[in-house]
Structure formats: structure tokens, C-alpha cells
Structure 1
Amino acid sequence: MSRTSRGRDSSATYYSNHSDSPLLIPPRHRMMLQLAVFDLLKRDAIPMTDAGLVDLLLKAERILRARTVDEVVTRFSACIEAFGYGTCLITRLPAPDVGNWQTYILANRWPGEWFERYNSAGHYRHDPCVAQCRRTTEPFLWHDIDSANYDKLAEIVMGEASEFGLRQGICIPLHAPFLPPITVTAAGDEVDTSPIARQSVSILSRSALSATMRFGARPAQEAEAGLSHREAEILKWAAAGKTAWEISVILSVSQHTVLTHVRNAKQKLAATNIVHAVVEGLRRHEIEL
């Protein structure tokens, strides 16, 4: 919650070449996956190395293979700790006037004293991060929210969080029709705010959310659905580096149609962006390169 946009850069520490869990992608696809997603990351000006990308995918896969919610959160926490995040929470976000918002929590690794204070003070109703999660589908760092727009109660929430050691953080929201939003939030005293860290924590958070919801937390409306033929086709072209306009020309459809299919594919795959959609599509064998 520090307004400072620069934190420590722990990317080099994180991207080691070890993992005790094999990646569930056919070996013949691994190099193509690496190259395709790396190309997308480069187009977003995120300079992730090949080794870093593979290591990230291995860790995301390991989170997804956890056997219990507690194991999911333990593995997720271990992955994001290298970026400076020491605590996390996965929860639905009911309406602000709901008195028992705690019953919507899916997994909780917030510090006990902060969790107690947050609830006793009624901070949920005034938390600016909760409000921002309702307004956007894009991951955001806490300091991305303009503090000039905070009211007095929002300032108290963020100030007290900082006093409990949660000075900086990130939120990854997910929206679905007719359901409360869901968010994965992680925080720490001093975190890595680099583009690589932001993208990596976002992908790991989506893996943690997907794994958590596998244990009975996913509502019927959010049950996994397969990609349509057109959605898979468009993701394959996106992985090849084609823009929405180029894909529309190739497939003889409008650019609006392409963007609609991309949006639907992202929702089905619980993906935050096209990079994550390609990763999930390949991991689930929905697309082949």
C-alpha cells in the first residue's frame, strides 16, 4: 500500500530451474508453447527469459496439481514469496452492505491480527481495492489506485493495512455473469513491482484460483466449458503473433467478431489476458500449435 512504484526486483531469484512436478503438456508442444507465449510477452514489452517462462509454467502446473485447498495456498504462497508477497487471500466479493462477507472467502492466509482488525472495524465496506476489483477485470497493484480519490475511511483502511505490514499488494479480479466478482490478492512489506513480477504473480494467482475452485468452490455457472472451434482457431493465430485485425483478414470475419471470440475464450479459460489464455488452452489440450 506504499505509494512507491518501485520495490525490490527478485525475478532473478525466482526463476530457478527446479521443480518437483512435471509439466502436463506433451513434450513435443513445450518448445512451441515457450516460443509462442514468449513472443506474446515480448509484444507486451515484458522481457521474460525462456528459462523464466518455463519455470513459471512449471510452478503454475504444480499449483494446479495440489490435492487440497490448503496445499494450493501453500504452494501458491511459496511461489509468490520470492516476489516479496508474504500473505494472500482468495475470496468472492459480495455487495458492500453484506454483513458476513467472510463466508465468501475461499482461502485465507492473511495475518490473523489484521484479519480480526479488518472485520471488527468494518473495513470491507470501505476498502478501495474491493471497489477497484468491481470496476476492472485487469490485475492491478494497490498503488495503481489514485489515492487522491480516497475518502477518509478508505485512507484509514490502507493506512492500517500498512501498519500491519501490508504496505504493497496486488489484486487479480475475475468477473462472471450474475455472480459476485472473485479476487486473488497478495501483499507484503516490500514487493517486486516489475512488469515480469506483475505478469508472473497474475498467472500464478489464476492457477491458484482455478485449483481452489476445483474443490467444490466453483458455482455451476462457472463450470469449465470447452473452447469452440473458432475460439481455438483464433487463439492459435494469436499465439503465432497475429493481431486481431490480421486474424480477421485471415478468417474473413470482422475484427469485432475476433475480439468477441477472444473475450469468450478468456472467460472460459479464466484467463486475465491473451497470454494466459494461450497457456491455459495448451495446458488443457484445447489448442495445438
Structure 2
Amino acid sequence: MTNFTQISFDLISEIKQSNCAEQIYSILDKSANIFGYNTFVIAEAPLKSRDMLQDRLMLARWPEQWSERYGEQGYIHHDPVVAHTRRMTGPFRWSEAPIGRDERLARIIMGEASEIGLRDGYCIPIQDLTCTRIVSFGGSHLDLPDQAASGLHMLGIYADLTFRALTSAAAKRREAGPGAPRCSPREIECIKWAAAGKTGWETSEILSLSHRTVESYLNTAAQKLGAANRVHLVAQALRQGIID
């Protein structure tokens, strides 16, 4: 019988020792084989109607096609799971999220997610004074006994806390040191298009790059600037004179 409690403690210990976002990603990626999920997302619930997915996304392993579709269609504003996180303080299964007022669009989102194998999920809302943060794990079927669910709950919380601590510490180090961090010309190009309101997919079309490459440039720039999401990245780049 799998000892999910001990496994979770070991994984949390690894996360607490992480010194970059890539290490957190790697640990969550490895954990997928243990808990049975295929995707994970660390994000913030949108604050305004014009917020896009890339503005709120911090760390994710998603099918690229679904990420593009979800972002382009603005599903983040109509996803019943995202809406439910604002009302909850504890974890819940995706199936427990009420459909809400926009039933037609909610069912479209759930149907399209199901078609690519995201039929089941476990979501962990984290409430603070400024926003609702979301850690969500998805797959075709999540078989989570109570011990596994409790372990995944704690793993999600520590992944979010450690990610935010790393970006905050990086920002403080930069503020204390001379000069601005060096972003590559390509990273700066991608930040400029993000500042202009372009999605990662739109930027990839403009620059004739793959969507994955654009996201890599933006994620690397965010790590350098200590930005937690796309909006924060643009704000940091403006503040430090990297873009104008």
C-alpha cells in the first residue's frame, strides 16, 4: 500500500529546498506519476474582465493546444472551477464546482477539456488579501484516497508558497543590487508584445517563432525580473527601464 503521507512529506521537503521555478516544476512533474494527474497549474484568479490567461498564469504543465484555446477564448472568465475557487477555502474536485449562470459556455469548456483527457481534477484555492490563487491538478481520472488527497493538498500549498517566496526574494536582490537584470533581445521583444496586449500565440505569429519558444522567453524573463505573472513581468520591465 502506497504511503502517500510519507511521500508527500518527502516531496514537500524537496520543494522547500528549491531555488528556482524550474525545480518546482520538475518536482510537480515527477509527482504526476505518484498521484495520477497529467496536468498542473499555479495561477491567480482574474481580477478584471480584461485579464488574460497569460496575465494570471505562473507555472503550468498543460497541453499546448488547450492552453492556446483556453487563452484565446477567454475561458478563464467563464470556467466554473475558477469561479468556485473564489467561494472556497478548502480543496475540491472539479465535479463539485457549480455550473453557474452561464451554463452553455461552462458546459462547452468542460466538454472541450474532457475531449483532450481533462475529465477530472483536484483544485486548491488559496485566499489572501489581494487575490485568490489557484493550484489545480487534472487528468482523465484521479483516484485519490483521503491520504493522497491530503498529501496533494499540502504539496500544492507548498509549491505556491515556495514559488512566491522565490520570486519575491529575487525581486529584493535586484532592488538591492546595481543596475537592471539583463534580458536578451528576444526576451525584450516578447515582453514588448506582451505589454501591447498580445497573447503568447499572437506574439509567436508576429515573430515567426513557436508558441513554446515565446513562452520560454517570457518565463525566463519573468524569472530574471522576479515576476509572478505576465502583468507583473510587464510592470517590472517598465519600472526597470527594460521597455518603455
Tell me which residue corresponds to 1:58.
10
Q: Say whether residues 1:72 and 2:24 are aligned partners.
A: yes
Contact in 1 for aligned 2:44/2:57 (Cα 8 Å)? yes
Q: Is the 8 A contact 1:85 1:188 kept in 2?
A: yes
One-letter amino acid of the structure 1 residue matched with residue 107 of structure 2: E
For the 8 Å contact 2:91–2:122, the answer to whether it is kept is yes
CA distance in 2, matches of 1:108, 1:160: 18
How far apart, CA to CA, are the structure 1 residues paired with 2:81 and 2:48? 12
- The AA in structure 2 aligned to 1:73 is Y
Distance, in Å, in 1 between the alignment partners of 2:101 and 2:90 is 19
Matches for 1:190-201 after TM superposition, within 5 Å: 190-201=141-152
Structure 2 letter corresponding to 1:65: Q
**Aligned partner (choices 121, 127, 133) of residue 73 of structure 2:** 121
Distance 2:111 2:144 in 1: 20
Tell me the SS of whatever aligns to 1:88. Answer: strand
Deviation (angstroms), 1:82:
1.8
Structure with max Cα Rg: 1
State the distance in 1 between where 2:99 and 2:164 align.
Answer: 33
Letter in 1 for 2:84: Q
Q: What is the TM-score of this pair, normalised by structure 2? A: 0.64
SS of the equivalent of 1:190 reads coil
Q: Secondary structure at the match of 1:137?
A: coil
Contact 1:63 1:72 in 2 (8 A): yes
CA distance in 2, matches of 1:87, 1:212: 17
Q: Is the 8 A contact 1:84 1:189 kept in 2?
A: no
1:38-95 deviation line (CA, Å, top 9, x unaligned): xxxxxxxxxxxxxx43332122111121221011011022124322101111011122
Q: For residues 150 and 81 of structure 1, what CA distance do their matches in structure 2 show?
A: 35
**Equivalent in 90, 101, 104 of residue 56 of structure 2:** 104
Matches within 5 A, 1:148-159: 151-159=103-111
Give the Cα separation in 1 of the matches to 2:6 and 2:52. Answer: 41
Structure 2 equivalent of residue 184 of structure 1: 135
Paired position in structure 2 for 1:20: none
Asked whether the equivalents of residues 61 and 207 of structure 1 are also in contact (C-alpha less than 8 Å), the reply is: no
The amino acid of 1:95's aligned partner reads L
Q: What is the aligned partner in structure 1 of residue 242 from structure 2? A: none
Secondary structure of 1:91's counterpart equals strand
Question: What TM-score comes out, normalization by structure 1 length?
Answer: 0.55
Residue 149 of structure 2 aligns with an amino acid whose one-letter code is R
- 1:248-289 Cα offsets, whole Å, 9 max, x none, are xxxxxxxxxxxxxxxxxxxxxxxxxxxxxxxxxxxxxxxxxx
Q: Deviations over 1:175-209 (max 9, x none)?
A: 111x1210101101111132222111101111111
Cα pair distance change 1:126/1:148, threshold 3 Å: closer
Q: C-alpha offsets along residues 26-46 of structure 1, whole Å, 9 cap, x if unaligned?
A: xxxxxxxxxxxxxxxxxxxxx
How far apart, CA to CA, are the structure 2 residues paired with 1:83 and 1:196?
A: 11
Equivalents in 2 of 1:160, 1:96: separation in Å? 24
1:173 pairs with 2:122: no
- Mind listing any 5+ residue stretches in structure 2 that lack a counterpart? 172-244
The code of the aligned residue for 1:81 comes to N
Q: Does 1:86 align with 2:38?
A: yes
**Residue aligning to 2:179:** none
Q: CA deviation at 1:111?
A: 1.2
Residue 154 of structure 2 aligns to which amino acid in structure 1? Answer: I
Q: Distance in 2 between matches of 1:135 and 1:95?
A: 14
Distance 1:99 1:206, change over 3 A: closer
- Alignment: residue pair count: 170
**CA–CA separation in structure 2 for the residues paired with 1:216 and 1:82:** 27
